Amino acid sequence: MKIAEAQQNLDDALDLDILDNTLYAHLAVEDLNERQAANMVAAAERRLARTQEKVDHGRMLVQQGVAEPYLFADVETELANRKQALDQARARAALVMQIVEIARAETLPDSPPSIDLKFREHFEGERLLETKDVREITLAFEKQFHEPFPVSARGSTAVHRAMGFDHTGRIDVAIAPDSAEGVWLRKFLEARSIPYYAFRVAIPGKATAPHIHIGPGSTRISTD
């Protein structure tokens, strides 16, 4: 039993180390890739399961009258903390997956003829996206719609790098191109001759997300 307990403590410490480097680290969501996100959630799930086992055992002893409830108060508190950590890990992983889906959408071919609206629309523009442009767009959007500008990926992210794409100098915005916000944003960009790609629909069998990619298309990272 002592060996099993020691192994559990070691496994728990290893999972905590994963969370320390993902969930609790001072990292923006753009700095996480798909694999790290999955490992983060799995580690949080395992830590919760271990504590749940201890709580269940303690409750059984209390019901049998061989232990007092106060003996397991700390474990109950730890269970609540680990449930909260799992919720946070899942929420963070969901944001990473949104970036993954958007990045994959940008690599898909054009839609089949059966789709009425074009899957991908491109506005060429005449200049590159600059930092001051992002600030101007953000302020104008938030003034117009009274809500945060929903940037899902700013510059090069861990997801884009893992997929072999250079996303530097580009941003992805989680807005459907034909929504009121999307129409406003596209007109705003066109008026300033800023290039963009509008991704409208999901291709059957593919996990994609409607969004607007501001800036030129992403390029392949050179392996030379």
**Confidence class of residue 67 from pLDDT cuts 50, 70 and 90?**
confident
Q: Mind listing the pLDDT tens digit for each residue in 103-145?
A: 776 665 444 444 444 677 889 988 888 889 999 999 999 999 9
The whole-angstrom distance between residue 169's C-alpha and the CA centroid of its chain comes to 19
Q: What is the pLDDT of residue 211?
A: 87
In the chain, domain spans: 2-105, 120-220
Q: What is the pLDDT of residue 115?
A: 43
Q: What is the pLDDT of residue 202?
A: 53
Quickly list DSSP for 78-113: HHHHHHHHHHHHHHHHHHHHHHHHHHHHTTSPPPPT
Considering the entire predicted model, what is its pTM? 0.65
Yes or no: say if 34 and 162 are a contact pair by the CB < 8 Å rule: yes
Q: What is the pLDDT of residue 118?
A: 63
Task: Collapse the DSSP code of 189 into the 3-class scheme (helix H, G, I; strand E, B; otherwise coil) and give the result.
Answer: helix
Task: Collapse the DSSP code of 55 into the 3-class scheme (helix H, G, I; strand E, B; otherwise coil) and give the result.
Answer: helix
Helix (H), strand (E) counts: the chain? 6, 7
Those residues with Cβ within 8 angstroms of residue 51's Cβ, 6 or more apart along the chain or in another chain? 75, 78, 79, 82
Which of 172, 156, 183, 180 has the alpha carbon at shortest distance from 209?
172
Yes or no: say if 159 and 33 are a contact pair by the CB < 8 Å rule: yes
pLDDT at 26 over 90: no
Say what percent of the chain tops pLDDT 90.
Answer: 48
